[in-house]
Structure formats: C-alpha cells, structure tokens
Amino acid sequence: MPLDTSTYNLALLRVDGRRWNELRRVHAQIRTQAAADGSSYLEMGHTKVMCVVTGPSEPGPRRGGVAGGGSGGAGAGGAGGKAEVVVGIVIAGFSSVDRKRHGRGDKRTLELASTVANALAASLHTHLFPHSQINVSLHVLSQDGSLLAALINAATLACVDAGIPMTDYVAACTAGSTSTYAANDEGADPLLDLNHQEEQELPGLTVATLGESDRVAVLVCESRVQVSRLEGMLAVGVDGCKQMREILDRVVRDKGRRMIQEGTVEKGVGLDDMDVD
C-alpha cells in the first residue's frame, strides 16, 4: 500500500498526525523482571521491545552458533581482556501485522544483533570485566518501524539497570525525508522517528549518539537517498537522539528515586544531587 505523501505539503502533518520533528509516544520501564541482572521494557509508538541482561558473568560452555537466536558478539571474549557482549534477538511471530515466523538464522536479525552488540561494546567499560560475558537478550513483541532504534534504547536501559559501567547513554532514533528517492525533490523536509508505513516508503536512517554529545555511535542507512538530503536527516536524527536521551535519563532517575523512597537501596554519596522528597 503506497503511502500518500501528497498531503504532507498541505498541512505539514504526517500520516499519524505528527509534525516533522515530533517523536512518537515513548514509554519505558526498567527493572521489569526480578530474576534478571538488568531488564527493561520500551515502547516507541507501537514498537514494543523487552530486554534482559545477564552478566557480566563467566562465559558458559560454548554451544553451537552462540546462545540465542539472531545473535552477534562484539569485543573479544577472554583473550583480549575485555568482556564480550553477546546480543540475541528474538522477534516474536505475532509482532508484525501478518504473522511471520522469524527463524534463528535470519540474516536481518543477525545484522540487527551485531549492530546493537557493537554499539554497546563501544560504550560499556568492558575492560573492567576480563574473561567474562555480558548477555543481552532482546525480545520484539510488536513492530511498527524504528526497530533498531528501539532495540538500542532498550539495551541501554537494561545495561543501566544491570549496573554495568558505561560512558554514557547510547540513545537512538530514526530520521527520514518527506519524499521518496525517485521524486528527487530538493525541498524535501527531514522527518523524525519513522513509523512502519513511512519506513516502507521513504528514505530513512537510524542514528545513535553517545549521551548529550554529538558523537555518533551508530549510523545505519539502508535506503537510497540523495546526498544533499543526508545532512538534514542526520541533523534531525541527532537532535532526536538528544530528546531520547532525556527520556531515558528521566526513566532511570524516576526509578532510582522510587527505589530510594521505598528503601530498596540506600541513598548513596553520588546521589546527593538527586532531589528525593
């Protein structure tokens, strides 16, 4: 079903009623699961992702093809004196509109996993945990575009929950452009946070930045787009990542504040700047 992009120029509203620079509703939770070292749940619009982090722990016996479904590893395990980040992604059969079985060896899933693993390995202080493994298992419950961005954000939150030292949040977001590549429209506006419909039709990229800085940690673009439009898309994407970082940070702080209030954890030295009522 082709996306009707013609109406955008009339009201400057997208198919779901957003402006060009608006994120979808983001809802996130951390510590959703008692048994895991770290866990999180993230919704970006209708994209829903769950993440469970186990580790850093002793690497288990190597099974054939590494643990989990689409999985990717990054950082040398053991020998390099750094923890290995192993990411497994399970895409539920019921996640898309039409039920589709995603096999374990699905190349797309593997690529997503290795992208997430590389992004995490670069920002986690893996050198503090030599000869160990950090297992990140991601479950996709519902898909509506910006899947990679949601996976990265969920993994970041779960790593924060697991208490693994990291340089900063890795916040991700997608950006696109209002007209297709074929239209070759010079005046096309950049768009923030694509949904599934837009992702199908319009050029888009996924960008992840490190914290509040402009340092790009992940940049994935799988569609054809004119070079002249790329800069605008990237700028909007990086801006979106900053918004996303604020959201993630608020989630973590809220949870931390609640835990202190409930007495789950003691108010520590570093927490003085947090205003606990």
Rounded distance between C-alpha atoms, residue 202 and residue 247, angstroms: 26
Least distance to other proteins from the beta carbon of 67, Å? 4
Q: Which is nearer to other proteins, 229 or 255 (CB)?
A: 255
Asked whether the beta carbons of 119 and 145 are under 8 A apart, the reply is no
Rounded to the nearest whole angstrom, what is the least distance from the CB of residue 95 to other proteins in the complex?
A: 8
Q: Is the dihedral of CA 22, 25, 31, 32 positive or negative?
A: negative
Of 133 and 179, CB closest to other proteins: 133
Q: Which one, 98 or 186, has the nearer CB to other proteins?
A: 98
Decide whether 18 or 46 has the Cβ nearer to other proteins. Answer: 46
Q: Detail the DSSP E strand segments found in the chain.
A: 26-30, 38-44, 47-57, 70-74, 84-91, 133-142, 170-177, 190-192, 204-210, 216-221
Binding site for other proteins (CB under 8 A): 33-36, 46, 48, 50, 52, 54, 63-65, 67-69, 88, 90, 92-95, 97-99, 101, 103-104, 135, 137, 139, 141-142
Of residues 65 and 78, the one with the C-beta less far from other proteins: 65
Helix axes 227-262, 147-162, angle to 10 degrees: 30
CB of 199 to other proteins, least distance (A): 17
Q: Least distance (Å) from other proteins to the CB of residue 40? A: 11
Least Å distance, CB 170 to other proteins, is: 22
Show the tokens assigned to 257.
Answer: 């504040």
Cα angle at 145 between 139 and 151, to 5 degrees?
A: 35
